[in-house]
Each structure stands twice: as C-alpha cells, then as structure tokens.
A and B are shown apart, each in its own frame.
Chain A
Amino acid sequence: MNAKQNFTTQALLATIILNAVLLGAIYFMAGESLQASGQLVSLLVMGVVLTVILAGLIVFLGGRAIDAAMTAALASVPTPAPAFKETPTPAPKVERTPTPPKPAPVAPPQPAPTAAALQMLAILQREGRLIDFLQEDLSLYEDEQIGAAVRSIHAGCKGALAAHVTLEPVVAEAEGSPITVAPGFDAHAIRLTGDVAGEPPFRGVVRHRGWRAVKVDLPQLMANQAAQSVVAAAEVEVER
C-alpha cells in the first residue's frame, strides 16, 4: 500500500506542476491575444479540468499496475507447509502440564522430509510390530490365530499412535446422523458422495467422521544419526 500512496502523491504533483508550467507558457506567449478574444478564462478552466482528469487517469492505471505486480510477486514465493508445533496449552487445575512458553531447544539442521514418515514407521514397528505384521502372508493362517496376534499388535500400535499423534474426528456429529454441509466448506475435510448436484448447503448423512491430526509430537531427531533408512534394526543374539 505504501508503494501505491507514494505513486499517487508523486503522480499528482508531477501532473499539476507540468500542466501549470504549460498553462503559464500559453499565458505568457499568447495571453494578450487570448484575453482580447475573451478565451483566456475558458482556456485556463479547460486546462485545469484536463489536469485533473489526467492525474486521475494516471493514478488509476498506475495503481492497477502496482497491484498486479504485487500479487505476481506474492504468488512466486512458495508458501511453507503448515508445521505442527506443540502449542503450550494453559493447564487446567487437574491436568499438570507445563504452561510457561518453552524456548525452542537448539534445533538440529532440518532432516529430509521422508525422515518423519520413516520415524513414524519405526515407532509403530518398535511398539506394535506393525511392519512385521504387514509383511506376513495371512493366507497361511486361520482367522483364530490371526485374531490372537492382532490383539497384541493393536494394543502396541494404539499406544504408540496415541502417544505421538492426537487425532480427533473432522465432524462432530455421530455416524448415521444427518448433517448440513454449509457453503464454503473445505473439500479437503469433507468428501461428498451420492446425489451431489447444485450448490451448497447440502443435506446428507454422515458415513465416516473423518480424522484430523490435532497435534503431532514425534521425538526430536538428533542430527548426527545418518542411518535414516533403517526402520527396524536386525537383532542378533550373541552367544558365548
């Protein structure tokens, strides 16, 4: 906005000064003859009017050009991905969590983007043996055998997930209950199926409440760990 204001004042000043010089020159050069023919006043008035119109036109066109340039500049800067930082929430009396803002610890240099994904996989393998389970060939086993093992895997993975990612449903309404999707809804958050026609608001039934990650709290990766590709270390039992 500052650019625009600067431009406006400068353009107005320039227009007025130059046109005043022009009118002055006309007056000096042909003033007597114009005065004699009575056209001086009308000429001066016309000059002022034209000055005003010219100034306005310049300001309008120039302002538009500045706006266009500014939006082009903003669009070319990549928007950073939303980072899930742990927001210190004020502690209610019963829950004992730290309230004072924690100064960020000395941050190690940013690891590669896939590191977080591999870290999550490593946690699920360590706590729940999820990868071992997924790599199994289930066709070899009876349902009963699988069921018994899955209980243990479920318990481990559930604990690991809860400790690191806080999830909540996207919509508050229960499954199977009616819901009205308001105009301007976020298509990333709500996926419409069925008889979708026209414009929102849409009336429908909730078939899946969705999941939203409210907080991601992965352990901090220290920078000097180069072996990021290892999700689960091999285990060797040493014998004497």
Chain B
Amino acid sequence: MRPATLGSRTRRHVLRWTALAYLLAILVGPLAMVFWRTFENGYDAAWSALTTPETVQAFKLTLLITAIAVPLNTVFGVVCALAIVRRDFPGKGLLNAFVDLPLALSPVVVGLSLFLLYGREGWFGGWLEEHDIQVLFALPAMVLATVFVSLPFVCREVVPTLREIGDEQEQAARTLGASGWQTLRRITLPAIRWAIVYGVVLTTARCLGEYGAVAVVSGRIQGQTETATLRVEERYDSFDVQGAYAISLVLALLAVLVLIAMTVFQRKEETA
C-alpha cells in the first residue's frame, strides 16, 4: 500500500508542476513582463504616455462603443435565448448556427464584410453617400463590428440556465392569470439574472478588447476613430513601445477587473 501512495503523490506532484509550469510560460510570465516593461522607465513616463489627448480619446471611444454594443447584445441575447428554449419554430438549427458563428469566425472577415457593405463601392455605399451618412470609417461601422463579434455571449450563457430552471413556474404563473410580460418580468428574468450578468461581463470583455474587425473599418483617425487596442498598435508602430505597454497595462487591468467580476458572478450563478 505504501509505495502505491508514494507513487501517486509523486505522480500528483509531477502533474501539478507540469500544469503550473505551462501556465507560467504561456500566461503568467508574459503578463509579468508587461508590468515590468511599463514601469521600467519609472512611473512618470508611463503616466505621461497614458494621458496624451489621443490616448485618452481612444479609451473614451472604446468605452463608448462598449456602452452601445453591450446593451444591444444583452437585449438580443435574452430574447434570442427565450426564443430558442421556450418557443418552437422551423429553422431553429439555422438560428443556433448563426448565433454561434461569431465565436468561430475570424474578426478580419467580419471587418471585411462590413467594408464590402458600406464602402463607397459597396451595396449601400452610394445611397449613404447621397444622404451624407458616414458609416464606414466612423462610429456606426465600428459598433456594428463590435456587436457582431460579441453577439453570442449573453445568449449562450442564458440558454442553459433557462433549460435548467424549466418552465413549471412560468406555467403556474400563467394559470394564475399573469400575462406573458408579467411572467417574464416576475418569474423568468429574476431566475436567469446571474446568467445575464455573467454574459454581460463576457460581452464587455470582448468589446473592450476587439481588434481585428475594428481595425478594418476604423480608418484609424487619431483622436477620432482610434480605439484603445488600435492605439496600442499605433504606439508600437511609432517606436513608442513604452506607450504601447502602458496602454496594454491599462487594458490588462480592465481584463483583471472583468476576471474578478466573472469569478464572483460565476459563483452566484452556481449557488443561485
């Protein structure tokens, strides 16, 4: 018995340290480097890199796009999940596939397709130009791109929870004379709220970090259509690696905040 436990302990340690070493090499090590590089030339250098008007504007734009895309996707995600779980209709499989598509599709492809749709030679380009509406290289296209890439998260979080809670309570409410809207507000939404919040957190993270799709449609006008992630690239291109790292660090800190939110809400969802 004894050698067996010893063997199993060794094995456990080997597995544990292999896993941790892998995480250190792939994940933790590189992240620690960013911290170090950002403050290599002192705190002031990092701070002044962050407070240039263009960088501040880039962060504002990122937040603005997120503030538009997240509510849109939240409403869509909840309605879509309700339709998928609670209703029956032909073409449900197709709808499912379309909702999942952004998870698997390259963001560049998304950007390109918007370019083809709203560019001057695109499908709607002529009409938009006649009416002097700027979509491409302006906020609307950037929002569309971001909405696309962050589309599935709320829906995908809500669907399993809806399945799990079943519809007995909803039916009971309806027999008691509640309208569909009342049932939704009083029964369904409270039951899925943590799933929604968790989905919102995931959506927010994706919106804050989007690069590929936005890069194609932004036109990169400094201080106007440049998001924080594009600004990272711009700084790197301008030989200002320090500035690039500083902006990256702020984005990474936002990511950590999101992560903390995720852990908290995940636990709530599990206990709910």
Bound pair (A, B)? no
